[in-house]
Structure 1
Amino acid sequence: MTPQSPEFAPIIAPVVALVAWSMVMWAWMYATRIPAIMRMRMRLDPSAPRGEQMNTLPAAVRWKADNYNHLMEQPTIFYAVALALALLGQGDGLNLVLAWAYVGLRVLHSFVQALINFIQLRFLVFSLSSLALLALTVNAVRVVF
């Protein structure tokens, strides 16, 4: 199947873009975390309570990991609804615009959290992305039910 084939739903592009962005954040997380661990000469303890040792890292280092974790949470709903819309033949038009809006806002959310972590701005961007996801969900519900 190619992007030119009739089976290709345009909404697949933002799905793949968000997966790719998640991998960028994964790389950024380790590109900052590993040097910080080495600078601090941390001795990683597998019996330490989950996350306890990482909490000793500088906040700006932890923010990247926090964002990567956030990209493993709500976006899973985006993937499900976007793929459902693709299968339903509804992966274009307004749904495509909403999907790209969601992805763009999640990327912006990543930059806000990873660089400055200004919580009020981060919450605003998260809320806007959630509204885009809600609209996608309502559109899918309307088609299915």
Structure 2
Amino acid sequence: MNTLTAPVMALVAWSLAVWLWMYVQRLPAMSKAGLKPQDAAFPGSLNGLPAGARQAADNYNHLMEQPTIFYAAALAIQVGGHADGWAMHLAWAYVILRVLHSLVQASVNIVLLRFALFSLATFTLAVMVARELVVLFG
């Protein structure tokens, strides 16, 4: 049985792992910098933290952006009964590319590599959506 639930849940789980990674980096950095929790009241107020703490937080934010389109598309494809083998492969490819993007951003943070992974993931998502639009409106 083809189901897009597995890649959706894998990306949700990865997002939660990055959330944990963010706080493992951020809390000690805040403590070392002498910052109190209230000092983080406004966006950008923690920009003075070391790169590792900012990169993990930036990546967590990125996982709350474009993947929302993936979740909606994957679940729409599933509910529509169109979760075929291609949809499965594309969904897993998207998840893998987003995990790789996270690993790059939160570690070495090479912008051109991040951009390439982001672009490939976006293209993969676009193909998923285009395939479903053809099925729906074809």
Q: How does the TM-score come out when normalised to structure 1?
A: 0.89
Equivalents in 2 of 1:87, 1:115: separation in Å?
37
Matched, 1:143 2:128: no
User: Residue 122 of structure 1 aligns with which residue?
Assistant: 114
Distance 1:30 1:90 in 2: 38
Instruction: Find the aligned partners of 1:75 and 1:69 in 2 and give their Cα distance.
Output: 10
Contact 2:2 2:85 in 1 (8 A): no
**1-side partners of 2:2 and 2:72: how far apart?**
14
Give the aligned partner of residue 13 of structure 1: 6
**2 CA distance for matches of 1:111 and 1:69?**
14
Which of 19, 27, 30 aligns to 2:23? It is 30
CA distance in 2, matches of 1:36, 1:73: 25
Q: List structure 1 runs of 4+ shifted beyond 2 angstroms.
A: 43-48, 50-53
How far apart in 2 are the matches of 1:101 and 1:52? 32
The aligned residue for residue 102 of structure 1 is 94
Q: CA RMSD in A?
A: 1.5
Q: Which amino acid aligns with 1:26?
A: W
Query: How much has 1:45 moved relative to structure 2?
Result: 3.8
**What is the CA-CA distance between 1:31 and the residue it aligns to?**
0.7
Identity of aligned residues (%): 50
How many equivalent pairs are there? 137
Distance 2:91 2:115 in 1: 19
**Using the alignment, how far apart are the partners of 1:140 and 1:84 within structure 2?**
9
CA deviations on 1:72-127 (whole Å, 9 max, x unpaired) are 00000000000010011111310100000000000000000000110000000000
**Aligned match of 2:34 in 41, 44, 52?**
41
The partner residue of 1:81 within 64, 68, 73 is 73
Go from structure 1 to structure 2 and tell me whether the alpha carbon gap of 1:137 and 1:101 turns closer, same or farther (over 3 Å shift).
Answer: same
Given that 2:100 and 2:117 are in contact with CA atoms closer than 8 Å, whether structure 1 keeps it comes out as yes
One-letter amino acid of the structure 2 residue matched with residue 11 of structure 1: L
**What is the CA-CA distance between 1:53 and the residue it aligns to?**
2.3
